[in-house]
Structure 1
Amino acid sequence: MVKELKAQGVDMIIAVSHLGIDESSTDTSIKVAKGALGIDLIVDGHSHSTLVEGLNGENDTLIVSAGEYTKNLGVVELTFEGNKLVDKKAKLVTKEETANIQPDAAVEKVINDIKESQKAILSEEIGKTDVTLDGERDQVRAGETNLGNLITDAMIDVSGAEIAITNGGGIRASIQKGTITKGDVITVLPFGNYIVTKMLTGSQIKEALENGVSAYPETKGAFPHISGMTFAIDTTQPAGMRFIL
């Protein structure tokens, strides 16, 4: 992509990534900066790293990350001379520093108008549940839940596949007992992912499941929620060798 964009004569290249910079990632934004000469700025996520002034990575690439959960607003100031980028500076503005800032009325109106226009769609009732459907982070990333089972059962129903697997990290909320709305579904599954149906070998399925349970009993976003099959793991074995059919 760097080569393609350079050929188009762009003034700078920004990569928006979700790789992180800590040990939770095999491939990090630092590796990208080292391996892809020509990226001027990487706006990163995943590791929730708080880089107060950014990180000067390889090949003059500035890596920025604003922490987590809107605790900070990340700001990057770029200086150009003509079309040439000559300086990059990063800083963070904390939530506390913004406490006395008055909202921009025009921006607020846009937000409120969008929310109002979506109310009818999001409030549409699509089902009911007699129990709470568990999508809590600590639960879905370390074990199966009834919500994970419902989602994967629905994946089989739609696709006609024999088995279904989804990752616990993609389940973002619970659904309380009672009426289920479209808004509830979007809150649980906010990423707009598609169901992908593939022919896989048994060894490939085993490899995927091994990856998902590699951190157990610690939480991991890859923890597999499944339908159409059962499996067990031996936690006395090292990661990659835990699977029991």
Structure 2
Amino acid sequence: MARTTTPKISASITHCDEILNRIQGDDKNIVRGRLAADEWQTRVPDVEPKIRASFFPPQMNELEPTPAKNKHSAVPLIAVDDDSTELNGFETCLVCVNEWNIDFAAPCFVAQRHDSQGIIDTLSLSVTTMEVTTYPVKATAYLYNGSSGAFVGSLDLRYFGMRMPRTLVFDVAEHRLPISTLIEVRFGIDGGGTPRIPRPPTITSVALLLVERKFHAQQSVRITVATP
């Protein structure tokens, strides 16, 4: 049985310093304190029970997703404590969700295991923000083939925000996604009425933890044939 664990995440001083260098004025001390609080919150997240994630395949008239703002490079997922079935990735960022109904891209995550027969059993998403928002922020994972880069669909990763958990654990085994799937996390806020979102949230870090379910070669072949 696969283990579901709290993501073991750590933000490097270099990453935090890079964020601070982008911020001008006398607010650096305030931001530094917020980043430190964010880092602590990421290490000790409020984990909810494992939930199912809805999967949406590409539509015939939309084989590629709408481009998102703030494209990021891929972040490798690495083994947690030499456990080859748990892969963890963490990246600091500054993603300000300041427009309605628009996808804002956070980092992409990929496990470089093209020859693995395993699938993703569980996916844990952890998020920290600089500003508290009264609007629920929607999180979506856009999925791409790890070898060809072709879009294969998306996962609904629910919402986070004020009085809502910042870490969610999803059961995705039923979707039979290869462990090598490239996962692009995006954020958005649904709504409208004003040109821009008042007091928009700024995401300061994103972490992903995958737990792999491995199969023998014969089992993997049956899964591949059954996949539409």
When the two structures are superposed, what TM-score results if normalisation uses the length of structure 1?
0.20
Larger Cα-atom Rg: 1
Say which structure, 1 or 2, has more relative contact order (CA 8 Å, 6+ apart). Answer: 2
When the two structures are superposed, what TM-score results if normalisation uses the length of structure 2?
0.20
Q: Hey, which of these two has a bigger chunk of helix by percent?
A: 1
